[in-house]
Chain A
Amino acid sequence: MSVLMVRLRPVALLFAFLLAAAAAVSVTPERAHAEDPLVFKVGSTSPPDSLNPFQALYLSSAELFRLSYDPLYTSSAENYTPEPALATDFSSNEDGTVWTATLRDAKFSDGEPVTAEDVVYSYQTNIDDYQNLPGFGSPFANYKSIRAIDEKTVEITTKVPVPENMVLSNEMPILPKHVWQDRDPIKDANDEFPWVGTGPYVVSEYKPDQYVKLVKNPHYWGGEPALDELHFVFFKDTDAEVQALIKGELDFVPGMTDAQAKSLQGNSDITARAGTSRRFTELAFNPGAKEDGKPIGDGHPALRDVKVRQALHHAIDKQALVDKVLQGAATVGGGYIPPAFSNWAWTPDDQTKVDFDLDEANRLLDEAGYKRGADGIRRMPDGGRPLEFRLIGHSEVATETTHAEFIKEWFAELGITVKPKMVPMATLGEETSAGKYDMAFSGWSANTDPDYILSIQTCANSSADTFYCNDDYDAMYEAQGKEIDPEQRKQIVADMQRHLYENAPIITLFYPKSQEAYRSDRWEPLTVQPQPDGISTQQQGRHGFASIRPKGVEGASSNGSGNGEGLGGGPIAAIMIGGVLIIGGGAAVLIMRRRKAGIDDTE
């Protein structure tokens, strides 16, 4: 063995290896033939958790369900208001307890017609056992029963009156009974491919940590889909995704950082855009954390005083955070629900609006009795504890460090010390849910129905975010969940947002935009939600992916040629120089080695 090893010269081996590699490259699949399937490839950094709609929790799984199946109603691309999907009509009796849905003429991807029995199966399974079906089960807590009236009509009875928007935004996919009836909704892996669904593309292959393939559903009720296949390709980080997009290995990359989006500017093949998302970012205070009525944690007592929180609201220049830290990739914060949900968003009027005004903030704190000590730092009204607040943020979100520095400076003007601390997300969750914080960066995504996002600030859910617990707010939350008059409900939801704005357990800092990019040399723009400046992925619905169309007619077969556009900047140059040095050194060794070997042979 040893003899063999010495004989196999490393140089020869290296060449052999490179030759093999080159050979591999040369036989690399050619993808530009006309008969090749038309494929759109999306980069994704988060693999699905489960393929079973009854169990899956992650957004990446929901995206697959939204493409492969249909709910009865979905959310409009315009502004997230409910619109027909598998049902063409969905309405209730006078008091909002009996609901009738009429199904459209549709077929599953295996050619079987969609009937009322499929809806009954999908809903009844959840009604029977919603506690153990976290996937789409929660709305079914209020449902009593469902029955088929005829082939195309179902009747749903709810335990209590339920607002229309809440019922119509139920996203439970309608699954084919003939495929699912013998499966266990809790345990089933849903790994028989292709899936049988009613959506434009159904999942046909899943390679964990590699990719998910969807193929076109020839029976799609919305007309023949434009693509033959839609692929989600999994990456570990977005940097590699952006490189793959530049190279043409991907057609679409969602969720980029602002810096990555910027690096794509000037690439004529790619369009990068910042879209209005469903999210808001907030500064959450610790308004006196309690668990089962008993105080927990070590929050600063000053923040239990609503006057202090109101004063601090005046000391945050949200516009500056958006302009200077985020370079404009966000909308300045106002009400709790993002303005993208135009049906539910509330905007403070001129009298209610809290402006950035450090003098006013100082005045409010003086008035509330928080006097400055000899060192200029304010003390509690009893003259004791100085106002020193910890500010905890996510170390994963680079911009939060900068936001914290701005807030620290503004609060210093008020005689308040801020100690920023950036920790991993899991640590942040642990410390905030134990009440061991004063101020924290947080954020949520809103949904078609505002019920859930509003529930986060109730006493029952207090540990979810800020431990806010207020009887008035809880009473309003209760009321909106029962109000079947849409206009009345809208008013209550607005009042709740006004309450949060004025009592300031949280301050909505901004609504961040989401950065996405696609190969505009090959594809038409995707439909965004909300119109006109929303996002193409992580929608409520599937408008973006369902709208994919190749650019022009012959654009479909164009194959991306790798070019180095978009690369630039100091770090990359440094990496390149380092690389050249290493490779050059290696080459020198090899040459030396070769000459040496030649001499040895003549010995």
Chain B
Amino acid sequence: MSTSTTSARPARHRSAALRAAVSSILGGLVSFVLVVLVGFFLFRMLPGDPVTTMTREQNLTAEQRAALRDSLGLNDPLIVQFGNYLLGVLQGDLGDSFQFNQPVSVLIADRIGPTLLLTGTAMLLAVILGLPIGTRAGWRRGSVFDKLSVGVSLTLWSVPTFWLALLLLMIFGVGVGPLPGLFPVNGMQSSDLTGGWFTQALDVGWHMVLPVITIVAVIYAQYVLVMRSSVLDEIGNDYLNTARAKGLRDALVLRRHAVPNALLPTVTVIMIQVGFLVTGAITTEYVFSWPGLGSLTAEALNVPDLPLLQGTFIVFSGCVIIANVIADLLYLVIDPRLRNR
């Protein structure tokens, strides 16, 4: 593109860029270590005794309860439990879930696919929808389109997610008046479906429609607003006047000159959003009974299933941290000014 440098950069600049990259990665690692440490103590503060919750109304003898408590490691002193946890995490072992009798890593692996599928699709659609709308709104600031699109996106952004989800579920899932229920109200797959992978994929897509619309509606406003304000920042710049003076059409000025520059801050927002999106989908997953990490976390909270909570916490936080690091690195790549600092 027109912004890329053509001549070989001095070595000094390259090492500066490398330093920035390394410090960004190191920062991410430090954050991650803190997450691992905090994760252990954070959930020990939750009220409730896991063994009592799990065995309530179960006809168990005192010996059985004691054996269960023992096998879950709850009889060890806290410092020993912490040590075991750290040792495990270092070896990539997140422990066994209290309630599900399975390794936490297996439970998370089962659920992370559906979560990524849902949030990834929603994210992609939100970007595809949000950036052009934001660009157009900024370029035509004050127009009816600008006012309307900003108004609508802000409204949707401020709507509570569960409310919007329930609304969509009622109208398009169950049906209202003459409108039949078009989409399923829960889950990711129909339990009574027979057919090849193509039918299965369509079935998943059909189940995804409402939860994806919910997430897109709630998050696309951020892209609209960031893109709009970025375009506004560029709009008065001389290089745009130069471009116009060259005789370029307005649309071309926007596409070739304003948008590439305006995209920079947007990339950061998108990447940071990627991390939070996984966490933020909990509500949507819950309403639509989507079999993802959000649902798993909700199940873990009831007990509290400490190893499972620690595991999902590490995954959620890890996503945010990794997304931030990637945003930093990406910024180095797409903004030459940072490399040359």
Q: Which residues of B contact A25 (CB under 8 A)?
A: 182-183, 206
Instruction: Write out, one digit per residue, whether chain A residues 578-603 have a CB within 8 A of any chain B CB (1) or not (0).
Output: 11001001101100110010001001
Q: Is the CB of B152 within 8 A of A589?
A: yes
Q: Which residues of A contact B24 (CB under 8 A)?
A: none
Binds B, one of A10-18, A297-305, A386-394, A509-517: A10-18
CB distance from A51 to the nearest CB of B (A): 9
**Out of B143, B176, B184, B287, which one reaches A249, CB within 8 Å?**
B184
Q: Is the CB of A49 within 8 A of B60?
A: no
CB distance from B174 to the nearest CB of A (A): 5
A49 and B195 in contact, given A210-B187, A562-B180, A596-B143 (Cβ under 8 angstroms): no
Q: Which residues of A contact B326 (CB under 8 A)?
A: none
- A422, CB-defined interface residue at 8 Å: no
Q: Is the CB of A207 within 8 A of B189?
A: yes
Give the complex CA separation of A373 and B53 in angstroms: 42
- A429, CB-defined interface residue at 8 Å: yes
Considering the complex, which residues of chain B in the window 163-200 have a beta carbon less than 8 Å from any beta carbon of chain A? Answer: 163, 166-171, 173-177, 180-195, 199
Q: Is the CB of B57 within 8 A of A445?
A: yes
Binds A, one of B33-41, B44-52, B75-83, B233-241: B44-52
Q: Is the CB of A426 within 8 A of B46?
A: yes
- A240, CB-defined interface residue at 8 Å: yes
Q: Using CB atoms, name the residue of chain A closest to B65.
A: A134
Q: Using CB atoms, name the residue of chain A closest to B304.
A: A426
Q: Is the CB of A138 within 8 A of B286?
A: no
Judged by DSSP, the binding face of B is helix
Q: Is the CB of A29 within 8 A of B132?
A: no
Q: Is the CB of B47 within 8 A of A424?
A: yes
Q: Which residues of A contact B190 (CB under 8 A)?
A: 29
Give the complex CA separation of A214 and B94 in angstroms: 32
Considering the complex, which residues of chain A in the window 423-447 have a beta carbon less than 8 Å from any beta carbon of chain B? Answer: 424-427, 429-430, 433, 444-445, 447
Q: Is the CB of A28 within 8 A of B170?
A: no
Give the complex CA separation of A585 and B149 in angstroms: 9
Give the complex CA separation of A142 and B299 in angstroms: 35
A600 and B55 in contact, given A5-B131, A233-B186, A564-B174 (Cβ under 8 angstroms): no
Q: Is the CB of A24 within 8 A of B67?
A: no
- A39, CB-defined interface residue at 8 Å: yes
Which of B167, B174, B195, B199 neighbours the largest number of chain A CB atoms within 10 Å of its CB?
B174
Give the complex CA separation of A243 and B292 in angstroms: 21
Q: Is the CB of B67 within 8 A of A132?
A: yes
Q: Is the CB of A134 within 8 A of B60?
A: yes
- A34, CB-defined interface residue at 8 Å: no
Number of A interface residues, CB 8 Å? 92
Q: Which residues of A contact B117 (CB under 8 A)?
A: none
Instruction: Write out, one digit per residue, whether chain B residues 251-270 have a CB within 8 A of any chain A CB (1) or not (0).
Output: 10011100110010000000
Binds A, one of B85-93, B96-104, B271-279, B316-324: B96-104
Instruction: Write out, one digit per residue, whether chain B residues 289-307 have a CB within 8 A of any chain A CB (1) or not (0).
Output: 1011001101100101000
- A71, CB-defined interface residue at 8 Å: no
Q: Which residues of B contact A55 (CB under 8 A)?
A: 101
- B148, CB-defined interface residue at 8 Å: yes
Instruction: Write out, one digit per residue, whether chain A residues 228-269 have a CB within 8 A of any chain B CB (1) or not (0).
Output: 010101111101100110110100000000000000000000
Give the complex CA separation of A497 and B149 in angstroms: 69
- B141, CB-defined interface residue at 8 Å: no
Q: Is the CB of B171 within 8 A of A576?
A: yes
A27 and B202 in contact, given A208-B110, A579-B171 (Cβ under 8 angstroms): yes
Q: Which residues of B contact A112 (CB under 8 A)?
A: none
Q: Is the CB of B102 within 8 A of A189?
A: yes
- A327, CB-defined interface residue at 8 Å: no
Q: Is the CB of A8 within 8 A of B249?
A: no
Give the complex CA separation of A358 and B298 in angstroms: 45
Q: Is the CB of A426 within 8 A of B47?
A: yes
Give the complex CA separation of A358 and B190 in angstroms: 57
- A567, CB-defined interface residue at 8 Å: yes
Instruction: Write out, one digit per residue, whether chain A residues 132-156 have a CB within 8 A of any chain B CB (1) or not (0).
Output: 1110011101000000000000000
A596 and B136 in contact, given A50-B100, A138-B64, A207-B189 (Cβ under 8 angstroms): yes
Give the complex CA separation of A138 and B166 in angstroms: 44
Give the complex CA separation of A575 and B259 in angstroms: 38
Q: Which residues of A contact B202 (CB under 8 A)?
A: 24, 27-28
Q: Is the CB of A236 within 8 A of B286?
A: yes
CB distance from A113 to the nearest CB of B (A): 31
Q: Using CB atoms, name the residue of chain B closest to A51.
A: B101
Considering the complex, which residues of chain A in the window 159-209 have a beta carbon less than 8 Å from any beta carbon of chain B? Answer: 189, 207-209
Q: Is the CB of A39 within 8 A of B192?
A: yes
A41 and B209 in contact, given A236-B286, A426-B304 (Cβ under 8 angstroms): no
**Out of A6, A21, A210, which one reaches B206, CB within 8 Å?**
A21
Q: Is the CB of A209 within 8 A of B64?
A: no
CB distance from B290 to the nearest CB of A (A): 8
Q: Is the CB of A2 within 8 A of B259?
A: yes
Q: Which residues of B contact A6 (CB under 8 A)?
A: 132, 135, 254-255, 259
- A52, CB-defined interface residue at 8 Å: yes
Q: Is the CB of B289 within 8 A of A236?
A: yes
A244 and B186 in contact, given A426-B47, A429-B48 (Cβ under 8 angstroms): yes
- B129, CB-defined interface residue at 8 Å: yes
CB distance from A483 to the nearest CB of B (A): 19
**Out of A49, A132, A207, which one reaches B99, CB within 8 Å?**
A49
Other contacts beyond A13-B129, A131-B61, A579-B171: 8, CB < 8 A: A5-B128, A24-B206, A29-B192, A240-B289, A426-B48, A427-B47, A564-B177, A582-B159
Give residues in B with beta carbon < 8 Å to A. 46-49, 52-64, 66-68, 71, 99-102, 107, 110-111, 125, 128-129, 131-133, 135-136, 140, 143-145, 148-149, 151-152, 155-156, 159, 163, 166-171, 173-177, 180-195, 199, 202-203, 205-206, 209, 249-251, 254-256, 259-260, 263, 285-289, 291-292, 295-296, 298-299, 302, 304
Jot down 14 A-B pairs with beta carbons below 8 A, ordered by A.
A25-B206, A28-B203, A131-B61, A138-B61, A208-B111, A210-B188, A233-B186, A240-B169, A427-B47, A429-B52, A461-B62, A579-B168, A585-B152, A588-B148
Instruction: Please name the 6 residue pairs, one residue from A and one from B, whose CB atoms are nearest each other, closest first.
Output: A426-B48, A209-B291, A562-B181, A211-B191, A452-B59, A24-B206
Give residues in A with beta carbon < 8 Å to B. 2-3, 5-6, 8-10, 13-14, 17, 20-21, 24-25, 27-29, 31, 37, 39, 41, 47, 49-50, 52, 55-58, 130-134, 137-139, 141, 189, 207-211, 213, 229, 231, 233-237, 239-240, 243-244, 246-247, 249, 424-427, 429-430, 433, 444-445, 447, 452, 460-461, 561-564, 567, 572, 575-576, 578-579, 582, 585-586, 588-589, 592-593, 596, 600, 603
